[in-house]
Amino acid sequence: MKVFSGSSNKKLASKIAGKLNLELSPVEIFVFPDGEKRIRIQEKVLNVDCVIIQSASIPPDENYMELFIMIDALKRSGAKSIKTLIPYLGYQRQDHIFRDGEAVSLEVIAQILVKVGMTELFSFDLHSPKIPEVFSVPVHHLSALPLFAEKIKKDFSFSEIVLVSPDMGGIRRIKEIAELLGNIPYATINKNRDLTSGEINDSGLDGDVRGKTAIIVDDMISTGKTMVEGAELLMENGAEKVFVFATHPVFARNASRLLQHSKIERVVVTDTIDVPSFNLFPKLEIVSVAQVAAEGLKANL
């Protein structure tokens, strides 16, 4: 097996290759003055199983385009299989039509990936369990939740905590982590978004958080508003402290500043997305999914 990395998350790709006792295989990514990319695989891959690691983080379109071209380069070089690990699958929140006239953008991405030659997809903590159905090749859905459960076990005493889903869509995730922790209690925030602007309209709380340390668990932090406003609501409802755990640190706009200056004690994310140095902040803690990714790839050789 040979492992290649796109340019969005080389740090994670090197760690995963290391865990597989491999080095990243060389690929030349040349950027023309107008921004177009020329990609050349610099190793023989004829009849070799290949893996490409590329997160579809900001800027998602550019990172996807690079991935499409890398897959094509491997296919034309005769690779036996082309598995792609997209630790953060961009566009996954657009997996169905919300309003008349909209595209199903995730389906467009899925069709291109398969058409250019992807033979299997690996990804972490997908927004919905139905997402694999959008792809016509096998999808391996990996998760950071066991890592989060281990950390929660280590850092908190069970009698003091309550898990919180930041919206109704996250209940499945909360149930899963509550079960990993031995069925501890959870509460749910009812968050309503405006479908045109994407802004959060209003929210309420189901469940009791009084006197507890509330731990919000989500799949991603984009602008940070869900977490910041959720933390305020939990404090208003009597929570002592609020911690947040989210797999994907998308960190759009000024999310990192909002989170640092919020009522949240600590923000735990993973390295499915490489957080650039300008988005690091003192409350942030990053745990690595490299081991989980390497095991997932090994199990599906």
Q: How far is the CB of 255 from ligand R5P (least distance, A)?
A: 6
Query: CB of 94: closest distance to ligand R5P in angstroms?
Result: 11
Tell me how crowded residue 242 is: count the other CB atoms within 10 A of its CB: 25
Instruction: In angstroms, give the least distance from the CB of 209 to ligand R5P.
Output: 18
Is residue 115 among the annotated active site residues? no
Distance CA 35, CA 288 (A): 31
Nearer to ligand R5P, 170 or 296 (CB): 170
By CB under 6 A, name the binding residues for ligand R5P.
Answer: 166-167, 169-170, 218-226
Q: How far apart are CA 121 and CA 132, in angstroms?
A: 9
CB of 83 to ligand R5P, least distance (A): 26
CB-wise, 87 or 117, nearer to ligand R5P? Answer: 87
Comparing CB distances to ligand R5P, the nearer of 9 and 223 is 223
Beta strands in the chain (DSSP E): 2-5, 27-31, 37-41, 49-53, 81-85, 120-124, 139-142, 161-165, 186-193, 200-206, 213-221, 241-249, 266-270, 284-287
**Collapsed DSSP state (helix, strand, coil) of residue 286:** strand
Q: Indicate the residue among 21 and 197 with the shorter CB distance to ligand R5P.
A: 197
Q: Which is nearer to ligand R5P, 87 or 224 (CB)?
A: 224
Q: What minimum distance in Å lies between the beta carbon of 106 and ligand R5P?
A: 14
**What does the H/E/C string look like for 180-245?**
HCCCCCEEEEEEEECCCCCCEEEEEEECCCCCCEEEEEEEEECCCHHHHHHHHHHHHCCCCEEEEE
Please name the residues in contact with 189: beta carbons below 8 A apart, sequence gap of 6 or more: 164, 165, 166, 167, 203, 204, 205, 206, 216, 230, 233, 234
Residue of 15, 83, 191, 225 marked catalytic: 191
Q: Write out the catalytic residue numbers.
A: 191
